[in-house]
């Protein structure tokens, strides 16, 4: 991966009437994307409202392997709310600029060096100030962010956002940047039954896994060996597309809790649809600070824009060297136990 592009970026995909530009599913209404920083600490499980999100990112936020999620809601705003909401990090701001819309979080990355959210937004954001649509629940609209013990949650893993208030107050009009869609998804590639990503190799606190369900055509998500459920309804979250994007991850001023994640240029994308795996490329034609509204494009192994399978997407952002384990054949017993590991998806040449 590098900041320079070697792929040819395609034109924008036009909006189709009645189609959600993020999922390809039927949709009517205004395009109103909202991003929320969702806590992925084990004590924050189950997360609320995540089954309603059209697309979710998970990314490293500490050098010890701790992660945080950024959930994108557009087609459905869960009436019961979403969360637990936690503090935001600078790389999330780049994704806010890309999608447009409102970004809700509870606290944010400060600090004396320039790699803090306030300075970053003032220098690079279309908004130019840490204010709406950057919505910090600690200081603004505090009534929308309620602490709750629902599901046994305790602080700081217990802030739930009232999505109905966000929707009623929506004042942004971002431009949609639709994916290309396919009803069927990939019909080529290697067979995959499971995927395992252990961000924190010293223990299983941040182990994400997916198991393919052939009857639904979706990858069911697991966290730390247990189904990843939406605490609002108890349903397992499942995804039509799982994409692992490899990029450069470092730590600002050597501080292990201040991530610097390259979300411009290009890198390897491990693409999973329909129980199939191909190795492609992600690319975004921007610098770290300019043209940030340009979309991230996924390319297949032939350099063509990847059609997303209609449905929800999960994007795992990992360091270039992060091991990703692909289980090809046998049932993986939900948790994807380490002894079931078959093939390592490498970081250089394909496996």
Average pLDDT of span 63-72:
95
pLDDT in tens, 288-335: 889 999 999 999 999 999 999 999 999 999 999 999 999 986 545 444
Task: Determine contact, residues 128/199, Cβ cutoff 8 Å.
Answer: no
pLDDT at 330: 57
Distance CA(246)–CA(283), nearest Å, equals 11
Write down the pLDDT at residue 214: 95
Summarize pLDDT for 266-298 with one digit per residue, the tens.
Answer: 999 999 999 999 999 999 999 888 999 999 999
Q: How far apart are CA 106 and CA 99, in angstroms?
A: 20
pLDDT of residue 1: 85
The average pLDDT across 334-341 equals 38
d(CA 171, CA 51): 25
Does 3.50.90.10 match the CATH number of domain 181-345? yes
- What was the pLDDT predicted at 198? 92
Q: How confident is the model at residue 151 (pLDDT cuts 50, 70, 90)?
A: confident
| Top-confidence residue, 254 or 145 | 145
Lowest-confidence range among 18-22, 93-97, 335-339? 335-339
Q: Tell me if the domain spanning 34-168 has CATH number 3.50.90.10.
A: yes
Q: What separation in angstroms does the CA of 192 have from each of 98, 182, 196, 250, 344? A: 31, 19, 11, 30, 12
Nearest to 292 by CA among 179, 173, 174, 118: 174
The per-residue pLDDT for 272 is: 98
- The answer, yes or no, to whether residue 224 has pLDDT greater than 70, is yes
pLDDT tens digits, residue range 13-25? 988 999 999 999 9
Higher-confidence position of 225 and 39:
39
Return the pLDDT at 328: 82
What is the average per-residue pLDDT within 129-149?
93
Say if residue 226's pLDDT is above 90: yes
pLDDT of residue 351: 34
Distance CA 268, CA 20 (A): 26
Average pLDDT over residues 191-199: 94
Looking at the chain, the domain(s) classified CATH 3.50.90.10 span 34-168, 181-345
């Amino acid at each position: 991966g590098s900041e320079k592009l070697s792929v040819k970026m395609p034109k924008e995909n036009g909006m189709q009437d009645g189609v959600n530009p993020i999922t390809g599913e039927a949709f009517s209404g205004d395009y109103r994307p909202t991003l929320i920083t969702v806590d992925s600490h084990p004590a924050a499980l189950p997360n609320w409202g995540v089954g309603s999100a059209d697309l979710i990112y998970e990314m490293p936020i500490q050098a010890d392997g701790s992660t945080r999620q950024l959930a994108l809601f557009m087609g459905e705003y869960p009436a019961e709310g979403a969360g637990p909401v936690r503090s935001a990090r600078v790389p999330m701001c780049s994704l806010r600029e890309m999608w447009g819309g409102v970004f809700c979080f509870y606290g944010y990355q400060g600090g004396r060096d320039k790699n803090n959210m306030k300075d970053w937004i003032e220098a690079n954001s279309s908004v130019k100030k840490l204010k709406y649509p950057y919505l910090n629940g600690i200081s603004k609209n505090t009534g929308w962010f309620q602490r709750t013990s629902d599901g046994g949650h305790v602080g700081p893993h217990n802030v739930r956002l009232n999505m109905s208030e966000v929707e009623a107050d929506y004042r942004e009009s971002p431009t949609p940047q639709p994916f290309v869609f396919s009803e069927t998804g990939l019909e080529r590639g290697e067979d995959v039954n499971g995927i395992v990503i252990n961000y924190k190799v010293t223990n299983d606190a941040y182990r994400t896994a997916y198991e393919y369900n052939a009857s639904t055509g979706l990858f069911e998500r697991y966290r730390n060996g247990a189904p990843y459920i939406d605490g609002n309804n108890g349903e397992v979250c499942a995804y039509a597309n799982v994409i692992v994007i490899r990029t450069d991850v470092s730590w600002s001023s050597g501080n292990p809790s201040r991530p610097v994640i390259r979300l411009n240029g290009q890198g390897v994308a491990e693409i999973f649809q329909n129980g199939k795996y191909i190795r492609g490329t992600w690319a975004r034609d921007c610098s770290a600070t300019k043209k940030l509204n340009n979309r991230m494009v996924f390319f297949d192994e032939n350099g063509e824009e990847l059609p997303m399978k209609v449905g929800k997407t999960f994007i795992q952002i990992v360091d270039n060297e992060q091991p990703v384990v692909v289980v090809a054949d046998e049932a993986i017993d939900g948790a994807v136990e380490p002894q079931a590991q078959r093939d390592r998806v490498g970081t250089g040449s394909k496996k």
